[in-house]
Amino acid sequence: MYDVVVIGSGPGGYVCAIRCAQLGLKTAIIEKNATLGGTCLNIGCIPSKALLDSSEKYYQAIHHFKEHGIQVGNVSIDLDTMMKRKDQVVKELTDGVRFLMNKNKIQVYSGVGSFYSYSSDKIEIQVKNPQKEEIIETKKCVIATGSQVITPKDIGLNVEIDGEKIIISDHALALKSIPKSMLVIGGGVIGLELGSVWSRLGTNVTIVEVLPDILMNLDGKMRQIARKALEKQGLKFLLNHKVVDIQLKKDSVISKIQTPKNETIEIETEKVLVAVGRKPYTNGLNLEKIGVELNQRGRIKVNQHLETNLKNIYAIGDVIEGPMLAHKAEEEGIAVAHHIANKYAHVNYDLCPYVVYTWPEIAWVGKSEEKLIEEGIEYNVGTFLFKANGRAKGMGETEGQVKILAHKKTDKILGVSIVGPYASEILGEAVIAMEFSGSSEDLGRSFHSHPNLLEVIKEAALDVNKEAIHK
C-alpha cells in the first residue's frame, strides 16, 4: 500500500509527488499519456514559450537588427527546424521529470487512474492501459488531472475541431506551414500568445473578444498600454464582438461576427484558433462512484487544506477553483504534501502572479486600481516608463511602464502591474516585497544595480510618494 498516490503528472502533480517522497512518504503517480509533465510541459506553457522566443528572434531580425548596425540580408524561416527545436525543449524537460521520479523513488504507473473503492483508511484506484489493468491501494490520494480546452460547441458554435481549419492550442503549436490569415476567438493569455507567435511569422491575425477589452483582470490603464503595443506589431482586435457562426469552405473559413451594434460582419481566414479558455479535466476518474463533490462550474470542491468532502482525497490545480496557472498548481501541490505529512502548509492566493509572454511581456500581481476603488480602499499610485531607463534604452526595448499601487495610509504595496521587456522577471521582486508586507518606500530605498531593468520598479516605488529621480 502507498502512503500517497497522485493522479496526473502536470506541474502540480509531479511537484506534489516529489515533495511527498522527500517527506518520507511512499509515493506513486499515475499518468495517462506516454510522457510526464502534463499539458504545461507537453502542449502548453513550455512549447508555447519556445515558439514565442523563436518567433521574437525572427521579428527582431526583420524589424530591429538594423537599428543595432547588424545587417543580416534576406531573413527566412525554416519552420520545420523551429518546430524541432520546440520539440527538443519539451523532450528534455519531460525526460527531466522522469529522471526526478526515479531519483525520488516514485513509482510511475502509465494509464488512466479511476477510483475503484473508497474508505476513510484505504482508497483503491484502478489503473487502466491497453496492456493491462491493475488495482493499487493507498492511504491518501491527490487529484491533479488538470484541464482541457473549451471547444467550439461549448460556446454555442456548431463546428468540430478538425486540426486543419478549426484548431486549438495543441494544433497551433505544431502547424506545418505558416497560415496567411488566422482568426483567434478569445483575447486571453492563450489567444494573445499564440496570436503573437503567428503574427510575428507573417500571419494576418485578428483576435475577437466578447468582453470590452483583453485581460480584464489586469489594471485598466495597463490593459490599454498592452493592447496598443500589440496593435503596433500588427495584431487586430475586435472587442465587444462575438463569433456567432462558422462556415467551412474548401480552402478557408468564414466567421460570422456580431458587433456591439448587433450587426453581423464576416471575416474569411485560412485558420480559426479557438482560444476561449479551459475547463477541468476529470474524465475517467469515476468521481460519482465514490461521491466526490463538484461545484456548479464542474470543479472539485475542496476545503482550506485542499481536501475534498471525502477524507484523505485531495485536489489541486486546474480541477479546483482559482486561476489555471502552473505555478498555482505547484504551490498547492507542495501545500498538500506538507498537510499530509502533518507539517505547516499555506498558499497565499492574493499574491499569485499573472504573466502573458507576448513582447513586450505583461505581468501583474495583487489588486488593480479598479478593484481598489470597488473595495473603497484609498491608495497612491506610482508609475515609471521604460523609455526613461538606461538599460532599456541601450537594449532598444523602451515600450511599456510599471505601475505600483500602495495603501494611502500605510504605504503597503497592494498591486503591481508591468508592461515591458522581461516583465515576468521584474515582477518577482514585487511578489517578494508583497509577501513580506513591504511598502513602496521599502522597495524604493533598496539598492538596485545600475544600469538595470529593475530600476524601473525602484523608480515607480519612489514615485508613489512623488520621490522618483528620473521621472
Exposed/middle/buried for 251, CB within 10 Å: 0-12, 13-18, 19+?
A: exposed
Please report, for residues 94, 218, 355, 392, the alpha-carbon distance to residue 277 in angstroms, rounded to integers and kept in the order given. Answer: 24, 17, 15, 33
User: For residue 391, which amino acid is it?
Assistant: R
Rounded to an integer, what distance in angstroms lies between the CA atom of residue 368 and that of residue 463?
Answer: 17
DSSP-derived secondary structure letter, 351: G
Tell me the three state secondary structure of residue 86: helix
- Considering 63, 64, 346, 450, which one is annotated as catalytic? 450
For the chain, what is the radius of gyration of the CA atoms? 24
The cell for 419 is: 508592461
The cell for 217 is: 483582470
Which H helix or E strand runs over 230? helix 220-232
Which H helix or E strand runs over 79? helix 79-103
The cell for 14 is: 509531479
Burial 109-134 (b: 16+ CB within 10 A, else e): bebbbbbbebeeeebbbbbeeeeeee
Closest CA to 179 of 171, 187, 189, 190: 171
Angle (CA) 341-342-344 rounded to 5° is: 110
Phi, psi angle pair for 192, to nearest 5°: -70, -45
Rounded to an integer, what distance in angstroms lies between the CA atom of residue 162 and that of residue 155?
Answer: 17
Instruction: List all residues 6 or more positions away from 345 whose beta carbon is below 8 Å from its beta carbon.
Output: 305, 334, 335, 336, 337, 338, 339
Which H helix or E strand runs over 89? helix 79-103
| Active site annotation includes 338 | no
DSSP-derived secondary structure letter, 294: B
The cell for 100 is: 526526478
Judge whether 98 and 56 are in contact, CB under 8 Å. no
DSSP-derived secondary structure letter, 69: T
Phi, psi angle pair for 406, to nearest 5°: -130, 150
- Residue 6 CB-half CA count within 13 A: 37
Catalytic machinery residues: 450
